[in-house]
Amino acid sequence: MSLTKRAVAEFFGTFWLVFGGCGSAVLAAGFPTLGIGFVGVALAFGLTVLTMAYAIGRISGCHLNPAVSVGLVAAKQFPASELLPYIVAQVVGAIAAAGTLYVIASGKPGFELGGFASNGYGEHSPGGYSLLACFVAEFVLTAFFLFVILGAVDKRAPLGFAPIAIGLCLTLIHLISIPVTNTSVNPARSTGQAIFVGGWALSQLWLFWVAPLAGGAAGGLLFSTLFGSTEEEMLTRVAKAAEKAQ
């Protein structure tokens, strides 16, 4: 599959992630008295990844997130030469989704932009958490997200279940950190919303690039170092596959 087609898949996948996840937060989380709340928003984010993993996983790997792409590069599971096109596609997809969501949300009488599901720290954290607390949360959660991704897609893991594990992991991440940062662990997702909110959201956006990217790289490198296949294990698996083919 060409790099162009894989980047296009990342565009649509990231669009779905932001439109489904942030859309649930903006449109449905507090809808009068029957809103879906934090749990519903967390589940929506997990479902977007799960569904897209089955849809485009075989095409682009379904990263949908610059931090995931960076983590996979750190783990030597993705070529660094293809990193920039993936990140550009992810960010553009997120911005397009945020724009589509803005058009829909603003169609309601009395619409007020508010936070528009943006990420923030300090006074813009849902729970008022400090910059340090938010940085640590984003770093640690993104690192563990890479742990789960790399473990789930490992050739030694059960086949066909990776999207479920990854989707549920993202759900859990949101259940933990929506009160802290409104949950990013994804610079593209943060950028799309911040562009429309402007002001404070753009001024705080740096954290939601630095912490997830650093966490993703750390998680990818640590998992690869501790649990990655050795050359001997790789050769053994190749030999066994060759035996079965005979």
| Predicted pLDDT of residue 229 | 66
- Determine the distance from the C-alpha atom of residue 164 to the mean position of all C-alpha atoms in its chain, rounded to a whole number: 14
Task: Inform me whether the pLDDT recorded for 179 exceeds 70.
Answer: yes
CATH number at residue 31: 1.20.1080.10
In the chain, the number of structural domains is: 1
Supply the mean pLDDT for the chain.
Answer: 92
Q: What is the pLDDT of residue 68?
A: 98
The answer, as to whether pTM is greater than 0.75, is yes
Ranges of H-type helices in the chain:
3-23, 37-60, 66-74, 83-105, 131-153, 162-181, 187-197, 199-203, 207-227, 231-245
Residue-wise pLDDT tens digits, 185-244: 999 999 999 999 999 999 999 999 999 999 999 999 999 999 986 544 544 444 454 444
User: Where in the sequence is the domain holding 107, given as residue range(s)?
Assistant: 3-244
Q: Any long-range contacts for 149-153 (C-beta under 8 Å, 24+ apart)?
A: 149/68, 149/71, 149/72, 150/71, 150/72, 150/75, 150/77, 150/219, 150/220, 150/223, 150/224, 150/227, 150/228, 151/223, 151/227
> What is the model's pLDDT at position 246?
47
pLDDT computed for residue 239 by the predictor: 44
Specify the residue for token string 């749990």. 39
Per-residue pLDDT tens over the stretch 74-87 = 999 999 999 999 99
Each residue of 21-50: pLDDT tens digit?
999 999 999 887 778 999 999 999 999 999
